[in-house]
Amino acid sequence: RSELYVSGGILSITSRILIIDLLQKRIPTYLITGILVMHAERVNETSTEAFILRIFKEENKEGFIKAFSDSPESFISSGLSPLQTALQLLQLRKVFLYPRFHVMIRDCLEQRKADVTELYQPLSPSMDEIQQAITECIEACLSEIKKGNGNWLNVDDLSVENSFFRSFDVLIKQQLEPVWHRVSSKTKLIVNDLTTLRKLLEYLVSYDCVSFNSFLETIITSQTPTSALSQQQQSPWLSLDAGNTIFSVAKRRVFVRTSTTIPTDNTQKNSYPTSKLPPGIQPVLEELPKWNLLAEILQEIESDITSHATETSRTSSEGEDLSHLNNTILIMMENERECSQLREYLSTMHIAERQGLDKGSIMLGRLLKNYFKWKSGMSKVSKNLFNENGKERSKEVNSNSERGTFQRGQQPPNKRRRIRGGSNTAASVVPTRKSKAKLLEEEAQEIANFSSTSCYDDEFDVEAFSTYFGLLDLRDLIIIRPISGEEDDRVLQSIKPKYIIIYHPDQAFVRRVEVYRTFYPDLPCKVFFMMYENSIEEQKYLSVIRKEKDAFEKLIREKSVNI
């Protein structure tokens, strides 16, 4: 590396290797023209980057330092004058701010604006009911935290809007860390419950109905009172009316009990045979509203491609080169799980339509079959678990009965002990949770009995696989990718898609699309922006935009008062 340093040029190097080479004098510091620091918001008092810059400035008085950051919220989060502190750590004196509303930035980006179509999809009634119930549970948890920890926490930060972000969990734990040993176990439990409830809000709009219901049932199973899990360790929000609404409505989205539910006119059709269902179960299999909206967008794009095909062929016949143009469709999702789910939906929706079914019936039918398998397996696990617990308890009872005496300082075995919180009012929560767990156990046992008498066939069709397997034209593809930060810039530049569908609203990716349009003004690009109307998803997206604007305004004010 010493020869590489002496040869000069632009070098991209990690901070760990650079600090070792600087300390061992492998790199001549006086020959360094300048240092560029990426992600300046990550530099703090104990970071390696701050140490490198301090050594560089001590040994090289003429070299320059330039730092870049795309996270303005990080410079106003904590401390007194955080911007001034960051400049001192980076060995800088000047700061340049370029918000989206900057005149130069706005004029540059608006010269080549993309053709954007915003589509707002309302939530289904059941999803809206679950969303309101989760919000009520979050409000109850926040009010409980404020009661006993108001002296240690910043009450202004404890809002429902802030709880939608992952940084909220870190913020609460950072504020409670100095007094964590004095915090009650109930408060610690509620802090973890806020993380679970935030995930439920995210999974509600991203998971299918079967997976979402399965996730809720795992929560109930993990919260079942056992010998290893006492009453004080139960999540309080499970006993609320809103908590019961979450579980009941989520199950109603998957199936209903025909013996206890009045049959209604259900317009949804599913491909799951009734013979493969346990008795008394009527499948509902509610699809996510965005799925149908996405199918309509793809149909519109297909019509647009067909209408421009004639014009393109006529232009190419006149001698103009159109080889750089393509009809690639890029769909950006939140994570890889949503990508795999959407790939299966798009690959099976046409088959379901030809069979006269809903577009997602085939995929949801497969998930429902796996759900029944999972329920039957869960019944066996819980049965074995309770058998082992019963054996352990019987051993303890036998050992206690054999003793028959008690030592000094211990409580007599026949004496009743008054337990705090042991009244009827305090113990009224446990039967509710036990009844939920008991219902799940009975349902799992019923499905297990049905699964033992029926068989599922998962045979691989080689002929069908060979028929549909082959190479596709790179110019007519539907590419589904998760949002990956800086990697998205390279994806846009390499693929150069004609149609971009933003399935999950993400402000950072919207900025990247604007920059992409500025770099390639001659390439046609049409953007479809999808969002659930009056949902947490919309509120979260608008909050991100507002927080970014407020952060820049605070930084501008702090910059104006710095000397």
Instruction: Give Cβ neighbours of residue 148 (< 8 Å, ≥ 6 apart).
Output: 184, 187
Long-range contacts made by residues 547-554, C-beta under 8 angstroms, separation at least 24? Answer: 547/73, 548/72, 548/73, 548/99, 548/100, 548/507, 549/99, 549/101, 551/72, 551/73, 551/75, 551/76, 552/72, 552/97, 552/99, 552/101, 554/76
Long-range contacts made by residues 519-523, C-beta under 8 angstroms, separation at least 24? Answer: 519/493, 520/496, 521/112, 523/324, 523/325, 523/496, 523/498
Q: Over the stretch 500-547, which tens digit does the pLDDT of each residue have?
A: 999 999 999 999 999 999 888 888 889 999 999 999 999 999 999 998
Looking up tokens 């539907």 gives 478
Q: Measure the CA–CA gap between 469 and 447, rounded to whole angstroms.
A: 37
**How much is the pLDDT for 459?**
58
261: left (phi over 0), alpha (psi -120 to 50) or beta: beta
In the chain, which segments carry CATH 3.40.50.300? 2-96
Contact 558, 84 (CB under 8 A): yes
Task: Give Cα 333 to chain centroid, integer Å.
Answer: 11
Could you say which DSSP state residue 100 is in?
Answer: T
User: How much is the pTM?
Assistant: 0.79
Contact 68, 36 (CB under 8 A): yes
**How much is the pLDDT for 424?**
42
Q: What is the largest CA-CA distance in the chain?
A: 106
**How much is the pLDDT for 222?**
81
Closest CA to 433 of 189, 165, 205, 244: 244
**DSSP sequence for 463-507:** HHHHHH-----TTS-EEEEE--TTHHHHHHHHH--SEEEESS--H
The CATH H-level (homologous superfamily) assignment of domain 2-96 is P-loop containing nucleotide triphosphate hydrolases (3.40.50.300)
Q: pLDDT under 70 in the chain at which residues?
A: 77-79, 224-233, 259-276, 310-325, 378-476, 563
Q: Measure the CA–CA gap between 474 and 490, rounded to whole angstroms.
A: 17
**How much is the pLDDT for 206?**
92
The top-level CATH class assigned to 109-119+289-314+324-356+483-555 is alpha beta
Q: Over the stretch 368-419, which tens digit does the pLDDT of each residue have?
A: 988 888 877 766 655 555 555 555 555 554 554 445 444 444 555 444 454 4
Could you say which DSSP state residue 534 is in?
Answer: T
Helical spans, DSSP H, in 226-288: 241-254
Lookup: tokens for 488: 């998205």
**How much is the pLDDT for 56?**
92
Q: Which residues of 302-333 are buried (b: 16+ CB within 10 A; e: fewer)?
A: eeeeeeeeeeeeeeeeeeeeeeebbbbbbbbb
Give me the half-sphere count of Cα atoms (radius 13 Å) on the Cβ side of residue 558: 22
Beta pairing, strands 64-67 & 34-37? parallel
